[in-house]
Amino acid sequence: MSEPMGKMEAAGGLAVTTGVDVNAGVDRLKAEGIPAKVAAKDATLWGPEAEEEASIRLGWVDTFVKSRELVAPLAKLRADLAEQGIDHVALCGMGGSSLAPEVISRTLDLGISVLDSTDPGQILAELGEASLRRTVVVVSSKSGSTVETDSQRRGFEAAFKGVGIDDFAKRFVFVTDPGSELEKLANAQGSHLFLADATVGGRYSALTAFGLVPSALAGADITELLDQAEEFATSITSEDDNPAVVLGAVIAAKPTITIADDGTGIVGLGDWAEQLIAESLGKDGKGTLPVVLEGPAAPGARGADRVYATVGGSSTGLPASGSALAMPDVVVNGPLGAQFLAWELATAYAGYLIGIDPFNQPNVTESKENTKRILADGLPDERPHAVDGAVEIYGSHADTVAGALGEVLLNADSDGAYIAVMAYLDRIGDADVAALRAGLAERTGAPVTWGWGPRFLHSTGQFHKGGRQTGVFLQITGEVGEDLLIPDREFTFAGLQAAQAAGDRQALQSRERPLVRLHLTDRKRGINQLVHALRELS
């Protein structure tokens, strides 16, 4: 176990403390002047093939300056909405468009409803009349054409009309890049519109309109977040204490980084960092795999192939539990605005050390294209190998759920392997199934990640297909109770969800990776069955 007091660098309100030997990486970054070059937005750093993309993706370095333009208009809009009795924010967005607002909301207890799902149950839960009458819907999409976000928008529009809200257009706030179809729609129907900075990629957009618009409308003090980032930015080019450089070297040091909240005020940052790291670094057969943990010392935190990190808002650098067992390899402590910028810088530095373009996502579109084709042609004809109670088993030689889970663990018993659990379910209503991650991690030496579909397609989905090809995959799907039509589309939310799961299966199977699918014919019974079956493997 590493002692986290070996090396500490603190500046700009944030500290990184680690016992991991990262001197070589830190020395290289400083000797080659990488921090100063990133601060100057030098697009040549990641090689000639990355230069074109990097040249239009470095606006995040100082976006805390431009984003101050949002403060006044957002304050006015929030006040106007409050006068109308509208005090609840529903956010329709995927990946970088939803994860930062979710962290801000959870940390500040703002209660934003984040809809980054196509599960009809999760969507329907937001469409009750009482809720709708006090709801403003933020629709966030950089391209303006994200299928999940467009479908959610259509669902809300129909629901508003259904309860007699005739001025539904004013209940929408669109966040998008200039020139997108969403901008055109906002102008055509008179919805509120905030244009994002086109020089910032989605996963680096925490401190742009994507992160700040829904947060401000829910009551966050976004000026404070920007001030925190600006204070931290003074450390970017420091030759002495430079926390982001240390963190970048840490991320690049081992094949896997496990991340947990330390219980000192910041909630859910690991989910945001997971997308940033996985989508930025998981490509060319390389990269660092991020694993989000349930808490300090959660199963699977440690291993020879991984660095265990905790994040929090305190200055102590110690997990709230105080347990020696919870002592991490690295602690990252500081306010949320500084955390966002520090992890963005660190990921760009790690990309440099690993030799990866941190701004493209070459494999994200593959599952999207598969989904599009399946929606047009129909679902593939797949038959279960076996049925065990409320669970259909696909892609396994086992006849029981316990046997299928055991097969997943057996397939992961090799050097460099990791297990990815991908649940195309309702992450609110079916939350109990997430206990499988810790249960599997207790029974294997391999890292175990958890992803809610299709949310993970915009984060670890890139790593699954573009990173090291050692993944062992467990996909969980479920029957839908009540479906929901998508207006002016030839598919429903259940149909879209099923097509996304099938499209991702095809992308993984084409790489000949082990993949077991467990389909719950009754979700509640099936989840209980999965949890109990895992216990049988003890």
Model pLDDT for residues 470-524, shown as the tens digit of each residue: 999 999 999 999 999 999 999 999 999 999 999 999 999 999 999 999 999 999 9
Q: Are 476 and 527 in contact (CB under 8 A)?
A: no
Alpha-carbon distances, residue 331 vs 334, 348, 535 (angstroms) = 10, 19, 32
Sign of CA dihedral 235, 240, 243, 249: positive
DSSP string, 185-243: HHHHHT-EEEE--TTS-GGG-TTSHHHHHHHHHTT--HHHHHHHHHHHHTTTT-SS--H
Residue 60, classified by CB atoms within 10 Å of its CB into exposed (0-12), middle (13-18) or buried (19+), is buried
The per-residue pLDDT for 326 is 56
Single-letter code of the amino acid located at 516: V
Omega within 30 of 0 (cis) for the link into 514: no
For 41-54, b where at least 16 C-beta lie within 10 A, e where not — what string?
A: bbbebbeeebeebb
DSSP class of residue 432 equals G
pLDDT at residue 301, rounded to an integer: 96
Strand 330-333 and strand 14-18: the pairing is antiparallel
The predicted pLDDT at position 318 comes to: 55
Q: Which domains does the chain have, with CATH numbers?
A: 8-45+236-354 (3.40.50.10490), 63-227 (3.40.50.10490), 364-536 (3.40.50.10490)
Beta bridge partners of 516: 474
Amino acid identity at 449: T
Is it true that the peptide bond before 454 is cis, omega within 30 degrees of 0? Answer: yes
Residue 526's identity, in one-letter code, is: G
CB 270 within 8 A of CB 259: yes
Tokens coding 372: 């599009």
- For residues 95 and 140, the answer to whether their CB atoms sit within 8 Å is no
Phi, psi of 382 (to 5 degrees): -120, 135
How far apart CA 453 and CA 168 sit, in angstroms, is: 29
- Numbers of helices and strands, H then E, in the chain: 21, 17
- Look at residue 365 in the predicted model and tell me its pLDDT: 85
| Token reading at 165 | 């809200």
pLDDT of residue 297: 83
Q: How many CB atoms lie within 10 A of CB 538?
A: 7
Using DSSP, state whether 361 is helix, strand or coil: coil
Residue with tokens 């659990």: 421
Selection from 336, 342, 297, 320 nearest residue 441 by Cα: 297
Phi, psi of 416 (to 5 degrees): 80, -5
pLDDT of residue 320: 52
- Each residue of 137-181: pLDDT tens digit? 999 999 999 999 999 999 999 999 999 999 999 999 999 999 999
Residue spans of the chain under pLDDT 70: 1-6, 315-326
Whether pTM exceeds 0.85: yes
* Distance, CA of 183 to CA of 276 (rounded, Å): 26
**118 burial level (CB within 10 Å; 0-12, 13-18, 19+):** buried
Residues forming beta bridges with residue 417, ordered by sequence position = none
Beta bridge partners of 497: none
